[in-house]
Amino acid sequence: MKLIGFANLKGGVAKTTSAIHFTYWVAALKRLEAVLIDDAHNRSALKWFSRAKENTKFSPPFEVAPSTKIARASQGKEMVVLDTQASISKEALQGLAEDCDLVVVPTKADIDSIMGAVNTVDVIKENGGDYRILITDCPPAPSKIGLEAQEALIDDGYQVIEQRIRSGAGVHLASLPGTTVAQQPSKYLGPWWDYRQAFTDIYEILDDLSAT
């Protein structure tokens, strides 16, 4: 069983969206038995799952469970994905670093989100954890905000997933009916193609870490 966490000390960085889409990706495309554990105060993932179960046109290929049921929900699973609290304490982040095979730190390209990501990563590194930063919600070209943020982080020595996630209406259109961007019409699929490439890289990193 592999355990991957999604965390950032700052909220509003597409943390839950990324966690939902990663769990969908490993369950639907990699055919792994997966579960998403919702440890966030607002229970966004559980609310999404409730809407998904009511959607007659979409059947999520994984379960979502509250953190209070993590032991039972994780039984027999090949991949456990943890969506953490936006205001996660440093103590909880320390435990996350110690327990997870990898912590993905989503961040938007604004300075407040990036500082939240950097502070998150610093705690993870201090406690011997493995991480990757994922740049999300990037404005479309000709904007270079996402690229510039990525390059600045790399220049400062941080490990960043090469594929950035573009912004798009498909993310918001998918959330309300409890689906993923993958179920949206083709003109809204841009963020999904980005997520697929990023998740492929993340999965390879997990494999490499398991081999060491």
- Which is it for the CA torsion 113, 158, 100, 93, positive or negative? negative
Say if CB 93 and CB 5 are below 8 A apart. no
Residue range 142-161: mean pLDDT, rounded = 96
Q: 7-50 pLDDT, tens per residue?
A: 999 999 999 999 999 999 999 999 999 999 999 888 999 999 99
Say if CB 94 and CB 17 are below 8 A apart. no
- Give me the pLDDT at residue 41, please: 86
Strands 2-6 and 34-38: unpaired
Structure tokens at 75: 């039984």
Supply the Cα-derived Rg of the chain in whole angstroms.
16
User: In the chain, what is the straight-line distance between the N-terminal and C-terminal CA atoms, in Å?
Assistant: 16
Query: Could you tell me the pTM of the whole model?
Result: 0.96
Long-range contacts formed by 152-158: CB under 8 A, 24+ apart: 152/114, 153/114, 153/117, 153/118, 156/118, 158/118, 158/121, 158/133
Our measurement of the distance from residue 101's CA atom to the centroid of its chain's CA atoms, rounded to an integer in Å, reads 14
Q: 179-211 pLDDT, tens per residue?
A: 999 999 999 999 999 999 999 999 999 999 987
CA–CA distance, 24 with 30 (Å, rounded to integer): 9
pLDDT at 163 over 90: yes
pLDDT at 212 over 80: no
CB contact set of 38 (below 8 Å; sequence gap of 6+): 44, 45, 46, 64, 65, 66, 67, 83
